[in-house]
A and B are shown apart, each in its own frame.
Chain A
Amino acid sequence: MTNEFEPKIVAFVCNWCTYAGADLTGTSRIKYSPNVKIIRFPCTGRIDFMLLLKAFSNGADGVIVSGCHPNDCHYTSGNFHARRRWITFRVLLDFMGIDINRIVFAWVSAAEGAKWAEVVNSTVNKIKELGPYENYREIINEVWEEEKWEI
């Protein structure tokens, strides 16, 4: 059991809803899996999807993007832009051969502490089933070797 695969997951969340929601998960002492680490953004609209690729190339097995529910954005429309960008971007990712099942897009409001735990746990389970994201890292490493790219 000790060698069970523990996926590394990065969560990109907005400051006003999901970050606060995750704080509420904490204050409510709802337990979830420690595989997820949160990076705070002002708004999901700020999230440049190239960052997702960076996370994968750096060894992430999965990514969660989460912000305010539609209409609840602190900045009126940032989450709509994020959603639209995601719709376009996933097609591109899919085309490029990136497994879009490894990216979870969710809406978690500041009042949904329990939902955040649920999102994290279900994502961890899903990524555990998918296994480590070796093939992407292999490709990236090859490219690095050949081109001597820098991050």
Chain B
Amino acid sequence: MARIGVFICHCGENIGATVDCFSVAAEAAKLPGVVYSVDYKYMCSDPGQSKIKDAIHEHKLTGVVVSACSPRMHEPTFRKACAEAGLNPYRCEMANIREHCSWVHEKGEATTKKAFDLVRTLVEKVKNNHSLEPIKVPVNKTAIVIGGGVAGIQASLDIANGGHKVILVEREPSIGGHMSQLSETFPTLDCSQCILTPRMVEIAQHPNITLYTYSELESMDGFIGNFNVRIRRKAKSIDEKLCTGCGLCCTKCPTKKIPSEFEQGLANRTAIYVPFPQAVPNKPVIDRTNCRYFQTGKCKVCQKFCPTGAIRFEQEDEIIEVKAGAIVLATGFEVKDAGFFPEYGYGKYKDVITGLQFERLASASGPTQGEIRRPSDGKIPEKVVFIACAGSRDPAKGISYCSKICCMYTAKHAMLYKHKVHEGTPYVFYMDIRAAGKNYDEFTRRAIEEDGAKYIRGRVSNLYEKDRKLIVRGADTLLGGKPVEIEADMVVLATAAVSCKDSESLAQKLHVSYDSYHFFAEAHPKLKPVETNTAGIFLAGACQAPKDIPESVAAASGAAAKVIGLFSNNELTREPVVAKINQTPPPVFSTCMGCELCMQICPYQAIDKEEIKNRNGEVIKTIAKINPGLCQGCGTCVAFCKSKSIDLEGYSNKQIYAEVMAVIND
């Protein structure tokens, strides 16, 4: 006979203000099988949990229903409390009367009644719960880090220094990411490359790190501790073992007019190329879509000149399969591309450039060796207009969020420009200056007060070219909307930071949630900022939301700490929410008829055949067998099974039928 305890939480005012918790508790006490029912201000607090523990002892409870917030929030808390009191944790369920009731309805009878209905539903479910034991699975102590920008580098080094193997996968021919493109970094103005390149070299030399550049994730299956990942190593068309990185091939390549991705189109590269001089690994790849040999079948100049004979035109993409226990996603961001800003003439006027292009202009290793020269005619610009929030915070453009980094880098750009062109005037059009961070506000103040950047609060309405000048028209809203017109030589757009183009498909491959802007979603915005909803997959850096360097690095170290924490176990316990084939006494053994339908639809290939043999070793029946280590508990097989021979622990047919029958009760 079930003995259920019901615990109604007020959650302070969150539930208590809209739901009459006292009457819900009183009504619940009258439900058949409920032996104890109580309401309390904060169930999740220590005294609240003690109330549950005491009741379990005192009333010999066989099941617990906590009516509080979402089980996605506190189910582990209350299950743990039950376990501490000696009740099997899987006999505890939560009724969600906060997110699904008190927060979404007005105060009133209907809301209280709904709360009670939800409690009753879960009481009926919990009557059918039974004790379950967590499943133990081994942990493969190798981590895969996807993305070799500053976040990926930091996460890889942290995990590797923790003594675990790391596989770093980078799509481009070199690691480094956006940070390697930057000139100097705010708020200290130290050289980006100077602080990043030593770390890149460290990656290449670390005994625990395997680096796969020019590679992409192909597919993933498995689960926490036991991921199987296939990586596509795109053909570099060179033999990396033979190549010494002398660079002769790059100087001899006849196809020289390809806009360099690294230089953001401000300079050209050859078809066989190393993205930038400090690249790691410092070995070239052949860009086949632009290579003369691959397009016309004639050339092979690089092969003729290569002193070690390392060129391999016949090389093909290779797919390697690796096993790992954890995955860190650090795929970063992109800046919004041309065509997005017709009003600012980006793509139409050569001297309208993005912030990232300005970084290259200001970089000592950039196409102008650090001199600020405008792209159209190489003239040193006397007036530069910086437009902040180009695309960001603009719902009409489909990007409502703040790109976060632009206020700071725009101030930095204004400073760098002023430092390099003393007689020049930087103008900044802005909406707000968001400089929250250590030494950030001081930095922007310095740009305004010491370096004389002219900040104009207002938006740019129109921009056009006239007599080799860019006429920028906007409003100064601090002067009551007075129209402003500036004849600039160059315009720099602080373009919105957006998610990578293929982040959606990557998220789908990894079963990670993502938001409407295709940034990866964290498991909890405050308490689980580096975890995803998929156990064992963590987030680092700007693939989650726009982040600056310190934040990316902090998130990467956070993710690395999570991975190392995970790897400190030899075995993991998993929720025992798995499917099971029923068993019946011989000679039937199971109602399963061996139709094998479940084997075909199982997304995890967790179902196998089992042969049942008699004493003489003759096969008398073949039935399905579910591997609890592989089963993830989706329950698709349960709904598919024709003979109703499969059931899902935690969401069994009995439990759900009981819920459906109880949810509506008049």
Interface set of A (CB-CB < 8 Å, partner B):
6, 8, 10, 15-17, 19-20, 22-23, 25-27, 29-34, 37-43, 45-49, 51, 54-55, 58-60, 71-78, 81-82, 85, 109-112, 117, 151
Contacts and interface: CB of A to CB of B under 8 A. Distances in A.
B634 A43 contact: yes
Contacts of A73: 511
Interface string B109-142: 0110110011001000000000000000000000
Contacts of B633: 42
Interface stretch (B279-287, B370-378, B434-442, B655-663): B655-663
Contact of A46 (B72, B104, B113, B634): B634
Interface stretch (B26-34, B44-52, B177-185, B635-643): B635-643
Contact of B104 (A15, A31, A48, A111): A31
A71 B640 CA distance: 20
Contacts of A48: 638-639, 653
B634 A26 contact: no
A70 to B, nearest CB: 10
B503 interface: no
- Size category of the B interface is 35 or more
Nearest to B515: A111
Interface of B: 70-73, 96, 98-101, 103-106, 110-111, 113-114, 117-118, 121, 507-508, 511, 513-516, 521, 533-534, 577, 601, 603-604, 632-636, 638-640, 648, 650-651, 653, 656-657, 659-661, 663-666
In the A-B complex, the 3 residue pairs with the smallest Cβ-Cβ separation, listed nearest first, are A46-B635, A26-B99, A45-B636
A85 B635 CA distance: 14
Given A43-B636, A110-B513, 4 more contacts: A6-B110, A32-B104, A38-B100, A59-B664
Given A54-B657, A59-B666, A78-B603, A34 B110 contact: yes
B121 A51 contact: no
Contacts of B73: 23
A26 B521 contact: no
A89 B152 CA distance: 47
A10 B352 CA distance: 56
A8 B98 CA distance: 20
A37 B661 CA distance: 12
B437 to A, nearest CB: 26
B651 A46 contact: yes
A34 B111 contact: yes
Contacts of A72: 507-508, 513
Most buried by B among A25, A42, A78: A42
A102 B148 CA distance: 51
Contact of B72 (A19, A34, A51): A19
A32 B664 CA distance: 19
A15 B533 CA distance: 11
Nearest to B112: A34
Nearest to B99: A26
A74 B661 contact: no
Nearest to A29: B103
B105 A31 contact: yes
Given A22-B100, A29-B103, A78-B603, A47 B639 contact: yes
Contact of A81 (B533, B640, B666): B640
Contacts of A37: 114, 117-118, 121, 663-664
A41 to B, nearest CB: 6
A74 B534 contact: yes
Contact of A8 (B70, B96, B651, B664): B664
Contact of B661 (A23, A42, A54): A54
A145 B100 CA distance: 37
A22 B634 contact: no
Nearest to A13: B100
Given A19-B72, A26-B99, A45-B636, A71 B508 contact: yes
A39 B534 contact: no
Nearest to B656: A51
Given A27-B103, A55-B664, A58-B660, A43 B635 contact: yes
B70 to A, nearest CB: 5
Contact of B103 (A26, A38, A40, A111): A26
A34 B107 CA distance: 11
A82 B661 CA distance: 22
Contacts of B666: 8, 59
B121 A42 contact: no
Given A34-B101, A37-B117, A46-B638, A23 B72 contact: yes
A29 B660 CA distance: 27
Nearest to B639: A48
A111 B516 contact: yes
A105 B516 CA distance: 21
26 contacts: A10-B660, A15-B72, A16-B513, A23-B72, A25-B99, A26-B70, A31-B106, A34-B104, A34-B110, A37-B114, A37-B118, A37-B121, A39-B121, A41-B651, A41-B656, A48-B653, A73-B511, A75-B603, A75-B604, A75-B632, A75-B634, A75-B636, A77-B636, A78-B634, A82-B639, A110-B533
B68 to A, nearest CB: 12
Given A42-B577, A45-B634, A85-B639, A109 B656 contact: no
Contacts of B533: 16, 20, 74, 110
Contact of A29 (B104, B113, B632): B104
B92 to A, nearest CB: 14
B72 A20 contact: yes
Contacts of B659: 39
A147 B124 CA distance: 26
A74 to B, nearest CB: 5
B74 to A, nearest CB: 12
A45 B511 contact: no
B213 to A, nearest CB: 28
Contacts of A42: 577, 633-635, 648, 650-651
Contacts of B113: 34
A117 B103 CA distance: 12
Contacts of A40: 71
A27 B111 CA distance: 17
B534 A34 contact: no
Contact of A58 (B104, B511, B664): B664
A111 B651 contact: no
A83 B640 CA distance: 13
A69 B175 CA distance: 34
Contacts of B103: 25-27, 29
B23 to A, nearest CB: 16
A50 B515 CA distance: 33
Contact of B636 (A23, A59, A81): A81
A39 B660 contact: yes
A99 B347 CA distance: 55
A47 B648 CA distance: 11
Given A37-B114, A46-B636, A26 B100 contact: yes
Contacts of B664: 8, 10, 37, 55, 58-60
Contacts of B653: 48
B298 to A, nearest CB: 43
B636 to A, nearest CB: 3
